[in-house]
Structure 1
Amino acid sequence: MNGAGTPTRWFARPRKVPDPALRLVCFPHVGAGGAAFNEWTELLPAGVELCAVRFPGRENRLHEPLLDDPGQAVDAVLTALLPLLDRPFVLLGHCSGSVLAYECARRLQLSGGPAPALVVVSSAEGPSVRDIPDPLHLLPRDELLARVADYGGTARQVLADPDLMAMFERVLRADYRVVERLRYSPGPALTAPLTVIGGRQDRFVSEQALRAWAGETTAAFSLHMLDAPHYLLRHAGAAVAALLQDLLHAGVRR
């Protein structure tokens, strides 16, 4: 499976599990690829396979055209995702990736597709309070790059290299166009459980904005606050592993 629309192209799978009991499908933040979640690989319970979304224009898809239309982006990732949903799965998004993870969960529910055992979002305000008065994809170059650097999670070698930054800017603008222009599918709240992870030192998303996710599910809701900043992937691995272990103990079923 090596075509542009197949799971091999669309998902980084750093530790393939022959017969996984559970798949963790991760949506990275703007500008990032599947490698953003590599540090979690050794923390996850046995039997869990990590599948991190990898959009065109980065990593091994560097020479593929960027996607900047929200409808096309969600359609493409869902098409690639469906073959992986033959067993229990969790959808997880970090920061702007939460927008896409949540929309994919909504689309699957509306279409009668497979339901996630759990949806996890982090460092993102709930849809009911989400507001984008000044879209980042329209900012001047220096202001855009300064904002992204302030969020954290961007490698220093990228920030210090003008050529890498020029390429990075194109990816950022395309990714921000997707998440800032995306309109969630209408319909009832999710029937899947929803967990939110936030950082107590997050200067961009308040605990109140995180709690606004509670209205997006009719199932169980939980909020986990970590001693972490906005970019909390390095801090969240153990918490995510514990959530997955709980699912396995509860007996998630195919």
Structure 2
Amino acid sequence: MELAGTSRERNVWFRRLLRSVQGGAGAEAPCELICFPHAGGSSTYWRGLALELAPAADVLAVQYPGRLDRLREAPVEDLHVLADLVVEVLGPPGDRPRVLLGHSMGASLAYEVAVRLARQPGGEPRLLVVSGRRAPSAVRSRGEDWPRTDEELVARVRKLGGTDAQLLGDPELLELILPALRGDYRAIASYRDTPGRPLSCPVVALAGDRDPEVPVETVEAWRNHTSGDFRMHVFEGGHFFLNEHTGDVGALLRDLLPARAG
């Protein structure tokens, strides 16, 4: 992977989830896949998919401030600022095609990163995959139905099912993860996308057919945000349908991932 930041910045922001797997992986893989976690999530969420995709992709997951080994850092409460910070470290893709994948909040962030990369000569990703997230043109109204207290926030996260209920039920652990959850939800609530149709790369949208937060038609609206090809795939399940369909999503991505140039 070619990154523009220093070695320390690379290690802070990106986690190579599989350094060595039988058959090859990591930096020798033909394709680079950058994964963006959901609100309150961390880079480890993508390990299962990394296993599914080895050795076809070098999976690097973004580690946001305010969680795990970055727990002492303040969460970034603006998705545009967060996208700027990620792009500051990401360099050109080099001789390997680059794909971006984000789930929930991570989908909006992956989109904003793709928009910024597209402004650089040869920087636009070869593919953007967005999962479990309303298209920018279908986001909620500012302040609409967003948690206003910690109790409402925890209840909402429980409903979505993305965080282990034991974590939410343990007061000490909850105290550790709440700052990141608060920051991420503030970032989501205030988010407004970069206007226009700034992408020309293909976009693939994934949705759960029983997602209580993200109706399928709001995910399909991602077709309005690229002049390139668009595909939609609906899976059985709720907001975190990826948890039950890691193998299916992995198989889908293996068919879509581009090969190394040249």
Superposition TM-score, scaled by structure 2 size: 0.87
Q: Which of 66, 87, 90 does residue 75 from structure 2 map onto? A: 66
Task: Check 1:239–1:219 CA distance in 2 against 1; reply closer, same or farther (3 A cut).
Answer: farther
Structure 1: where are the runs of 5+ without partners? none
Q: Secondary structure at the match of 1:188?
A: coil
Provide the secondary structure at the position in 1 that maps to 2:27: coil
Moved more, 38-47 or 91-100: 38-47
Trace 1:1-40 onto structure 2 (pairs within 5 A).
3=8, 6-16=9-19, 17-40=26-49
Of the three residues 105, 112, 115, the one matched with 1:103 is 112
1:140-171 Cα distance to aligned partner (Å, 9 max, x none): 11111101111111012211111221222211
Q: Tell me, in whole angstroms, the C-alpha distance in 1 between the residues paired with 2:146 and 2:60.
A: 27
- Structure 2 counterpart SS, 1:43: helix
Q: What is the DSSP-based 3-state SS (H/G/I as helix, E as strand, rest coil) of the residue aligned with 1:92?
A: strand
- 2:221 alignment partner AA: A
Residues 73 and 163 of structure 1: CA distance in aligned 2, closer, same or farther (over 3 Å): same
1:57 is matched with which residue?
Answer: 66
Question: Residue type matched to 1:7 in 2?
Answer: R
Q: How many residue pairs are counted as aligned between the two chains?
A: 250
* 195 and 239 in structure 1: CA distance in 2 versus 1, 3 angstrom threshold: farther
1:45, 1:241 within 8 Å by CA — same for their partners in 2?
A: no
Contact 1:67 / 1:174 at 8 angstroms: preserved in 2?
A: yes
Matched with 1:123 is 132
Q: CA deviation at 1:69?
A: 3.3
Q: In the TM superposition, what is the alpha-carbon distance from 1:130 to its structure 2 partner?
A: 1.1
Residue 202 in structure 1 maps to residue 211 in structure 2: yes
RMSD between aligned residues: 2.1
State, as a whole percentage, how many aligned pairs show the same letter: 34
Q: Shift of the alpha carbon at 1:51?
A: 0.7
Tell me the alpha carbon deviations over residues 148-202 of structure 1, each in whole angstroms, 9 at most, x when there is no partner.
1111110122111112212222111111222332332234341000000111121
Runs of 5+ unmatched residues, structure 2: 1-5, 20-25
CA distance in 1, matches of 2:103, 2:46: 10
- For 1:191, which of 168, 187, 200 is the aligned residue? 200
- TM normalised by structure 1 equals 0.90
Separation in structure 1 between the aligned mates of residue 134 and residue 165 of structure 2, nearest angstrom = 27
- CA–CA distance in structure 2, aligned partners of residues 158 and 132 of structure 1: 30
